[in-house]
Amino acid sequence: MKFKKKIEIKNRKARFEYEILDTYMAGIVLGGTEIKAIRLGKASIAEGFCEFKDGELWVINMTVQEYSHATYFNHQPKQSRKLLLNRKELKKLEKDVIAGGNTIIPLKLFINDKGFAKLDIALAKGRKIHDKRDAIKDRDNKKRLDQIKKDYK
């Protein structure tokens, strides 16, 4: 079993579905088989979101596939996992979620230089349909401009 050198699992739809207001880097509490599965790249944060329970932040619906070489001590793929942030950051996020009607979504799951799993999370506000159309229009216009610039070089 060969672990990948660089793990970077992204939530590609997040920037399209939400307007990002602020970003944070959080640690994750993981078991032994979970970190091994993440190092193999067997994780997904596409349907994930974060929620407060008893003053602690938890990531919900993050999928970490079962580790193939584990015994009966294997983990549950869709269990909630605790996120580690400073107390100030937790209080600020909780206040913004309650007062502003915002949500917290995972953007990127990666392994840092020390070998710890980290999760980039964002305080975000959901986009309306017309905002999504504007984003598509802007992206298409940028592609056309880049193509025109490329043709003139």
pLDDT digit string, tens, across residues 118-149:
999 999 988 777 777 888 888 899 999 999 88
pLDDT tens per residue across all 153 residues of the chain: 666 667 888 988 888 888 899 999 999 998 878 888 888 888 889 888 999 999 899 999 888 877 777 666 776 777 888 999 999 999 999 998 988 889 999 999 999 888 889 999 999 988 777 777 888 888 899 999 999 888 887
For position 33, what pLDDT does the model report? 82
Written as one string, the DSSP assignment of 22-80 is EEEEEEE---HHHHHHHHTT-EE-TT-EEEEETTEEEEES-EEPPPTT--TTPPPTT--
Task: Report, in angstroms and rounded to the nearest whole number, the Rg of the chain calculated over CA atoms.
Answer: 18
Considering the domain delimited by 8-126, tell me its CATH architecture: Beta Barrel (2.40)
pTM of the prediction? 0.77
For position 39, what pLDDT does the model report? 85
Strand pairing class (103-111; 117-126): antiparallel
Contact 50, 58 (CB under 8 A): yes
Q: Where are the domains of the chain?
A: 8-126
The residues facing 126 across adjacent strands are 18
